[in-house]
Amino acid sequence: MTQAHPSTSAGQPSSPPQTVKDRVQLVINWLRPVIQSDGGDVELVDVSPEGVVHIRFHGACIGCPSSDMTLRQGIERNIREKVPEVSQVVATAE
């Protein structure tokens, strides 16, 4: 059984993303609606050659006591599951 690729649009298949950063961005795009439903948002800042993903929280996520849990249990877990090259996900303040 095949699944549609997330970057497929209007019935036109596109080639899968090739870089780790592209693949991480796809996972973040998939997670964003859930985060946005709580008044927050997340942005991919960078992915280091060592596999460290840097993200930035926006909106209600800034200063939220649950943002660390969201980062570890939601964002990092999903990214590392779908992009095994990722070693860690960290939130940047700037």
Residues 75-92 pLDDT 10s:
999 999 999 999 999 998
Token reading at 75: 């964002």
Burial of 27 (0-12, 13-18, 19+ CB in 10 A): buried
Backbone angles phi, psi at 52, to 5 degrees: -90, 120
Q: Supply the mean pLDDT for the chain.
A: 84
> What's the pLDDT score for residue 62?
86
For residues 18 and 47, the model is more confident at: 47
Question: Residue 71 pLDDT > 70, yes or no?
Answer: yes
Q: Round to whole Å and give the CA distance between 73 and 11.
A: 33
CATH topology of domain 20-91: GMP Synthetase; Chain A, domain 3 (3.30.300)
> Using one digit for the tens of pLDDT, what is the confidence trace for 2-33?
334 444 444 555 666 589 999 999 999 999 99
**pTM, full prediction:** 0.77
Q: Distance (Å, rounded) from C-alpha 70 to C-alpha 53?
A: 15
